[in-house]
Amino acid sequence: MAFIKRSKAIPANIPTASMADIAFLLIIFFMVTTKFDVDRTRVKLPKSTVRNEVPKGSAYVVVAKDTAGLFSYKFSDGEKMSRPVADVTLLEAEVNAVAARDPGKPFVIKAEADTPYEDIDTALDILRQAGVENVVLLTEQRTVNDVD
């Protein structure tokens, strides 16, 4: 009897069925842990120990320092990306419009750590006059080593 070499051809493939499971798991993870950022301004935030979650869909008032070192306001209603506002009166108009449409709207103050307090005060006063009650001052986590 002749021995014929009959190598059974195993198809060379990598099982990819579980790949989709892993991928969808990751998708769900990203969907839950992330949220769309309405403001991408780079700002050096002040530090605090107490930090609470910012409610989703909050409107943003941003106080950022431009390249010339001047502080300027930006505003986002929580849906559209933030846009610069030329002056305080325009900011007031934007805030009033949002607060009138949704009276319980949470607001976030995102401001450079070195902003003179009067600029924050102006923003807070506008929010207060618009009847806003929930405001979050965006901060960074303070660690033990932070001196100031």
Partner 1 sequence: MGKLTDKVTKMEAEITSASMADIAFLLIIFFMVTTVFSATKGLDFKLPSDDQTPPTTEREEAVFFKVLEDGSFLMDGRPAVREDIIPYLAPKLERWPEKPIILYARRQAPYKAMVAVYDELQKTTLPPERGGLGLSKLPNISIPTNREIQQYIALFGVNPFEDR
| Site residues (vs partner 1, CB under 8 A) | 16-17, 19-20, 23-24, 26-27, 30-31, 33-37, 46-54, 63, 108-109, 111-122, 124-125, 127-129, 131-139, 141-142, 148
Query: From CA 85, how far away is CA 73, in angstroms rounded?
Result: 6
Q: CB-wise, 16 or 145, nearer to partner 1?
A: 16
Q: 117-129 and 88-101 helices cross at what angle (nearest 10)?
A: 40
Q: CB-wise, 1 or 17, nearer to partner 1?
A: 17
Q: Residue 5 Cβ, how far from partner 1 at the closest point, in Å?
A: 24
Parallel/antiparallel/unpaired status of strands 59-65 and 107-111: parallel
Q: Which residues pair with 83 in a beta bridge?
A: 75
Query: In the sheet where 83-85 sits, what is the strand order?
Result: 83-85, 71-76, 59-65, 107-111
Q: Residue 137 Cβ, how far from partner 1 at the closest point, in Å?
A: 4
Buried b / exposed e over 88-103, threshold 16 CB at 10 Å, is eeebbebbbebbeeee
Q: CB-wise, 54 or 72, nearer to partner 1?
A: 54
Q: Residue 110 Cβ, how far from partner 1 at the closest point, in Å?
A: 8
With tokens 């969907």, the residue in question is: 31
Q: Residue 143 Cβ, how far from partner 1 at the closest point, in Å?
A: 13
Reported residue count of the chain is 148
Q: CB-wise, 3 or 117, nearer to partner 1?
A: 117
Q: CB-wise, 5 or 8, nearer to partner 1?
A: 8
Q: Residue 38 Cβ, how far from partner 1 at the closest point, in Å?
A: 10
